[in-house]
Amino acid sequence: MSESALVQSDQHMVSEMAETLIGSEIIKLAAEINEKIRNGERIYNYTIGDFDPKIFPIPVELNDAIIKAYENRHTNYPAANGMLDLRKEVSEFLKERQGLEYSADEILISGGARPLIYATYITLLNPGESVIFPVPSWNNNHYCHLSRVKPIFVETRPENNFMPSADDLRPHIKEATMIALCSPLNPTGTVFGEGQLAEICDMIIAENKRRGSGAKPLYLMYDQIYWVLTYGQTEHYDPISLRPEMREYTIFIDGISKSLAATGVRVGWSFGPRAIIDKMKAILSHVGAWAPKAEQIATADYLKNKTALNNFLGQFKQAIDERLHGFYDGFVELKEAGYNVDAISPQAAIYLTINFDLKGKKNASGKVLSTQKDVTQYILDEAKLAVVPFSAFGSSDDSPWYRLSVGTCTMEEIPEVFIKLKKVLSELS
């Protein structure tokens, strides 16, 4: 049998979906970075949207409650939609912090936000239907592929802090079943303004009135996993608070992964219309995508401890904000010194949006940085700075914008980064 026939045979051993699934671009980049680290290079790795637990541990009370739950042998199956005590505490948390009224029966607990996003897709969408989402954005292209639906990419602009407007989305809504939005946005760390989100809600409401009661509505998946982490004067807005009529069309994605530096604890929740939440519960029950029972019990206990929660969030947000502004101020200084870099003032999450507009420059040896990939490689190889290009989040390959994540960063590293970066930028002509 020929080599080509063997390859073809292998390809037909799996589904077309699996065969054509694209791996995470961030994980590919991480492999190269890890190889450099293994070879002894000092890399400032700000690529992963995660936390170094030595720098940002989970709250001590949550840690102790998890240990206690395991010591009390809470190791069997949890309830299919999540432990009732946790769902009640999430309901109370949403009411107190956002003014949102959702009962425990309208809340679904899962092993982090990812299963909930996937469940939203396959609950609401038939294969071949369309989803609108802005780019850059995290993983919507992959969820479209997994659920065999049609992605509609909407390129956003730095002038709008990479947040989509109603006018950006409007040309596509008649053919869509769902709009997928995220605020604060991964990868940008920027948020919707009140009027901006209200206009999108009004557009969805008007479209659903146009469709009429007998047609499938236009849904909104609203990922607010970073909403607690806002800084300065930044405010988080949600569709229901702005337009109560959006309640029957909106499914929220949320959890403790980012707000409590608890990415590995795997406790996420979704809330929305009960009929939809019940269908998502049934799907995830078959998948077995539950958050561990002990972690659910511990999270419920921790959410009751409002003093501990407030103290943790105050310190945690201050530490993240200091890092974001440390990097932002450094990029502003470089820009003012005449270097072709830029940054958007931090608003939320753990990300800073930065710009390396260096395509066409020559390095010290005379090699031209002819593509944005060359720029990314140059910054990594010479400045030892690892950041994620927006092309990994669906933007065009020639976008000069990048995500810098501060969850693994110490304050002491920031001046070091800019000493190296200034030297490397100075060598370009």
Question: pLDDT tens digit string along 208-258?
Answer: 999 998 899 999 999 999 999 999 999 999 999 999 999 999 999 999 999
413-426 vs 372-383: helix axis angle to the nearest 10? 120
| CB distance 124 to 276 below 8 Å | yes
Nearest to 328 by CA among 355, 303, 310: 355
Query: Which among 334, 373, 335, 327 is positioned nearest to 351, based on CA atoms?
Result: 327
Tokens of 93: 């948390």
Cα angle for residues 300, 305, 311 (degrees, 5° grid): 125
Instruction: Say if residue 347 is exposed, middle or buried (CB neighbours under 10 Å; 0-12, 13-18, 19+).
Output: buried
- Identify the pLDDT of residue 360: 93
DSSP one-letter string for 197-229 = HHHHHHHHHHHHHHH-TTSPP-EEEEE-TTTT-
Contacts of 145 (CB under 8 A, 6+ apart): 17, 20, 21, 22, 151
Please report, in angstroms and rounded to a whole number, the separation of the first and last CA atoms in the chain: 54
Question: Quick one: residue 83, left, alpha or beta (phi over 0 = left, psi -120 to 50 = alpha)?
Answer: beta
User: For residue 196, what are the CA distances in angstroms to 163, 171, 222?
Assistant: 9, 17, 14
* All domains in the chain, ordered by first residue: 7-56+315-426 (3.90.1150.10), 60-307 (3.40.640.10)
What is the reported pLDDT for 22? 83
The reported pLDDT for the residue numbered 152 is 97
Q: How far apart are CA 331 and CA 43, in angstroms?
A: 19
Predicted confidence (pLDDT) per residue in 22-35, tens digit: 877 777 787 888 88
Reported residue count of the chain is: 429
What's residue 12's pLDDT? 63
**Mutual orientation of helices 306-336 and 413-426 as an angle, nearest 10°?**
20
What pLDDT shows up at residue 313? 98
User: Under a CB-based contact definition with an 8 Å cutoff, are residues 413 and 55 in contact?
Assistant: no
Question: pLDDT by residue (tens digit) across 107-122?
Answer: 999 999 999 999 999 9
pLDDT by residue for the chain (429 residues), tens only, comes to 344 444 444 556 888 898 888 877 777 787 888 888 898 999 999 999 999 999 999 999 999 999 999 999 999 999 999 999 999 999 999 999 999 999 999 999 999 999 999 999 999 999 999 999 999 999 999 999 999 999 999 999 999 999 999 999 999 999 999 999 999 999 999 999 999 999 999 999 999 999 998 899 999 999 999 999 999 999 999 999 999 999 999 999 999 999 999 999 999 999 999 999 999 999 999 999 999 999 999 999 999 999 999 999 999 999 999 999 999 999 999 999 999 999 999 999 999 999 999 999 999 888 999 999 999 999 999 999 999 999 999 999 999 999 999 999 999 999 999 999 999 999 998
One DSSP character per residue, 135-168 reads ES-SSHHHHHHHTT-EEEEEE--GGGTTPPPHHH
